[in-house]
Amino acid sequence: MRSLGERIMRIAVVGAGGTGGFFGGLLARAGMDVVFIARGPHLEAMRRRGLTLKSRLVGDATQPVQATDDPRHIGPVDLILFCVKTYDTADAAAQIRPLIGADTVILPVQNGVESAERIAQVVGSAPVIGGVAYVFSSIEAPGVVSQTAGPGRLLFGEISGGTSPRTERLLHTFSAAGIAAELRPDIRVALWEKFVNICAASGVTALTRLPIGPILACAETSALFRGTMEEVESVGRACGIDLPTGIVDQLSAFFANLEPWARGSLAHDLAAGRRLELEALNGAVVRLGRAHGIPTPMNFVIYAALKPYVNGAPTLP
């Protein structure tokens, strides 16, 4: 509950897909001043009927929302939740300039470990912090976001480390909206922890066209899953990231208790014939591994096998 006289935070959600729709929907439901930036049928549905959130964690609800396809109609905001697909990062970063004021915070909630740096190249580093989401969600239909698995956690923090008044304020805002938020003083470590996770979860579910349960039930695909994580851990350490000891064992225990029908975002996009965030995930592991002399054969297999689909389903002869 907001205290008397406390100003409502003004928030722009850039990319109202599974992640942006889930967290933005919770913020809007809590009474924050939220505007969604979207496009196509999803935008039109939100304008007409609002945003429907179907969630295993918080239940189902439809919320009237503000939505537009033009950031120039919004003006400066307090927070930009930057949730576009990684292949749209540069273009979207250029388009958010009208949203940025003197105290605006940009929180990228994207896959991969390079988003903050890529956004900073376009708008400068001062407003940008780091973020990590643990949620399995996707657009079920125009105007409908379905959260099917995962804990729905949002981790964030200053890229340079530590905490700050602005991140403390965000923690208060997210908690008030019922979001399982955590302010991390070591957000770069958290980004790589998620990277170890998602390169296996997304990569292997897309490669096999199977959800987590059958993958882990088969000795061979389970070994592929673990080996993919081990390679990402090795690359992270070579990049100077102090990942926790036993990170692969910890993530293996997490996946063993995850809903067995869970699939990563690559798998959802592949099934729908959409573009893939492959270059930001397994492709980045291969690229960074080569730069540091770390072999990544399992990630390379995933990358090579999915590369023909990177721009959508290829045309068959």
Q: Which two tokens stand for residue 114?
A: 């390079």
> Three-class SS string for 194-206?
HHHHHHHHHHHHH
Please tell me the distance from the alpha carbon of residue 251 to that of residue 283, in angstroms, as a whole number: 21
Using 50, 70 and 90 to split pLDDT, how confident is the model at 148? confident
Chain mean pLDDT for the chain: 95
Assess whether 107 and 89 both reside in one domain: yes
The two beta strands, 130-141 and 33-37, are unpaired
Assess whether 171 and 212 both reside in one domain: no
Assess whether 209 and 68 both reside in one domain: no
Please tell me the distance from the alpha carbon of residue 161 to that of residue 169, in angstroms, as a whole number: 16
Range of the structural domain that residue 82 is part of: 10-185
| Helix segments in the chain, DSSP class H | 18-29, 40-49, 89-95, 115-123, 165-176, 187-208, 212-217, 219-238, 247-256, 265-271, 282-292, 297-306
Residues 46, 64 contacting (CB under 8 angstroms): no
55-67 per-position pLDDT tens digit: 999 999 999 999 9
107-131 per-position pLDDT tens digit: 999 999 999 999 999 999 999 999 9
pLDDT of residue 136: 84
pTM, to two decimals:
0.91
The two beta strands, 100-108 and 66-68, are unpaired
pLDDT of residue 151: 87
Assess whether 208 and 146 both reside in one domain: no
Q: Which CATH number is 279's domain given?
A: 1.10.1040.10
217-244 per-position pLDDT tens digit: 999 999 999 999 999 999 999 999 999 9
Assess whether 174 and 206 both reside in one domain: no
Please tell me the distance from the alpha carbon of residue 251 to that of residue 113, in angstroms, as a whole number: 18
